[in-house]
Structure 1
């Protein structure tokens, strides 16, 4: 009788583990379906970008778009290889990804340098030119203009 009870316990535990695996499989299939839907969206966006890349873009924007497309395609190929269990330690896709990342970093560096604040050379020249004609005199450890010094002398003379 003890053996019968033990076998029921084993059946119940194996049924529970089967149910757990079924739930895990359903969750995995849901994630795979979400992933597939996202890949379809990416494919649609890529097709849209490629279709519109030739019209209305200047050369810089075309280069930027081509760089992003190369990076996206390499990333998607890397994901495919990774999902299929391919050893990527010496795969050529790593070189392509690294090169695309370097191109994106270089493009960002160029854009950052173009948007950086610039010195207004003409205004600087005007400030320097006007400052060169101003004479300063030291008055009690403070640098003042000649006019301020004369005014201060006049005020002190009128007080006395």
Structure 2
């Protein structure tokens, strides 16, 4: 996980939902290494590297059925040399740091321009999930398409919040 100042905290209200929109700026690999894709949370200042999703400890079983965080990632459309599109499920989990509790659902939408992560937490667990975004870059001139992954961001899912 990143430094606390690089982490954005999402608090899911008891029995409710929290929706966060994030602009994602992909970057081509540099020096043979995957780059960190810049994340900007709409309405917030500063770049984000990791996300923490906290659920209320006092939620009962009925509350927990409906609680969720919805993270909507929009790919930056500013690249004039080509187009980025999310592919497959939009993410690939790091070995040993995947969604072992199966509480994260992914969906690619808007012709590949949007990735929606829906996160639940049905019990008192805490889990660190590391993943890479997966997208295709299509060169506007040649039409060549190449698949790229980002350096690993992370999301911590927990009850109590940030626990």
TM-score of the two chains, using structure 2 as the length reference: 0.21
> Which structure: larger Rg?
1
| Structure having the larger proportion of residues in strand | 2
